[in-house]
Amino acid sequence: MKLEIGNIFIKDIQFAAESKVADGVLYVDKAALEKVVLEDETIKAVSFDIAKPGESVRITPVKDVIEPRVKVEGPGGIFPGIIAKVDTVGSGKTHVLKGMAVVTAGKIVGFQEGIIDMSGPGAKYTPFSQTLNLVMVCEPVEGLKQHDYEKAVRLAGFRVATVLGELGRDVTPDETKVYETCGIKEGIEKYPNLPRVAYVQMLQSQGLLHDTYVYGVDAKKTLSTILWPTETMDGAIVSGNCVSACDKNPTYVHENNPVVEDLFAQHGKTLNFVCQIITNENVYLADKQRSSDWTAKMCRLLDLDGVIVSQEGFGNPDTDLIMNCKKIEAQGVKTVIITDEYAGRDGKSQSLADADAAADAVVTGGNANEVIILPKMDKVIGTLDYVNKIAGASEETLQADGSLKVELQVITGATNETGFINLSAR
């Protein structure tokens, strides 16, 4: 499977009478995008704003972050099963508006939305302080249930990102990258002396606003399966969950998964990147056992030498993580796990809710309970009405001077478990 990614570097976003990309500037017609959002009758109103790196701006409560892309050649379209038809994606050519993102925000849904600070100490902990952000704040109609509101905002974000991505269809990319993996037999013949490595990605799927979608299907309704790694670059996996902001994978992270990127960088050099295996994180023990059994079975069937396993969330999913690690290691496949820690504000508590001797190669995204003071910003996009309630905050979060005393848990992407940020721990 071969995919060419054409990156169109966006250097600025400006509101204008016409939406277009010209000379590295994304011009946005707010009125046209409002119509796209308000196609859903459950959204009463929407407002758009722009947040740029270095500005004294706070965005909250953040729900999802999405990178606009467009399929210009090859089968299918971006966000298959949600926006585009259900065709297998991951081949051909895709153009990307690189350096910017669509950020969805609005009233609280699951009490685990996040904060993005575009400057100050909090900016160091979120990758999205470095992107030019088009923020859409959605207001639901009265009486709309939480899960319906989440769905409405989620789909509106994908529609807006699709419209913006389309603007890059006929733009010549500033940079083109090629990603290619081969079939099982071809890979063995082509790289006979390289270790066979796969990426096992655990998808949040505990329900109750804790869901991820694969080709439009709720991941908790699926069994562990195999993807070409390039499929995720075309939006085959999207976020639909409100787990703690620090370690949730927004759609942007799925589109730009750093584990996939790093494995491709080593493919054909130090390893043979065989495939991506996706598995879910469930609530009930039997479901956890079933999914981890299937994951380990696939690793054995593929005759893998090693895997990287990434988690999403914490607590209950720690059991899935350790089950996957233990069972894959039992198949003779070397395993490295990526997680984060909830070790208490003093860093002295047990980091994970589960453990096993097999988990002897661990990469951590840091301690989500670490406390930080976020200074008052000149501008808030969204609302601070719920800032004391989101996960990682408390009744004392909003200080008299307008600053916020919070755990890193509230910052979108702060301890991301794919490594999509620089924080770690030793």
Has residue 426 been placed in a domain? no
203 contacts 237 by C-beta, under 8 angstroms: yes
Among 138, 182, 242, 325, the active-site one is: 242
C-alpha gyration radius of the chain? 21
- Would you say 103 and 132 are in contact if contact means Cβ atoms under 8 Å apart? no
pLDDT score for 207? 84
Residue 323 lies in a domain: yes
CA dihedral sign of residues 111, 45, 97, 264: positive
Helix, strand, or coil here: 362? strand
- 242 — pLDDT class (breaks 50, 70, 90): confident
Per residue in 131-144, pLDDT tens? 999 999 999 999 99
Distance CA 234, CA 254 (A): 9
Let me know if residue 416 belongs to a domain: no
Of 112, 116, 110, the closest CA to residue 382 belongs to 116
422 lies in a domain?
no
In a domain, 275, yes or no: yes
Predicted local confidence at residue 209, as pLDDT: 85
Establish if 400 belongs to a structural domain. yes
Domain count of the fold of the chain:
1
Distance CA 156, CA 103 (A): 11
Residue-averaged pLDDT of the chain: 96
> Which residue range is the domain that position 326 belongs to?
2-410
Task: Determine phi and psi for 294, rounding to 5 degrees.
Answer: -65, -40
Q: What is the pLDDT of residue 102?
A: 98
Distance CA 239, CA 245 (A): 12
pLDDT digits (tens, 9 = 90+) for 164-200: 999 999 999 999 999 999 999 999 999 999 999 999 9
Dihedral pair phi/psi, residue 303, rounded to 5° = 50, 50
C-alpha to C-alpha distance for 3 and 135, rounded to whole angstroms? 29
Give the chain's length: 426
**Annotation marks residue 242 as catalytic:** yes
- For residue range 299-338, what is the model confidence (pLDDT) as tens digits? 999 999 999 999 999 999 999 999 999 999 999 999 999 9
Helix (H, G, I), strand (E, B) or coil at 293: helix
Which DSSP state fits 303? T
In the block, which residue shows the tokens 């039997």? 286
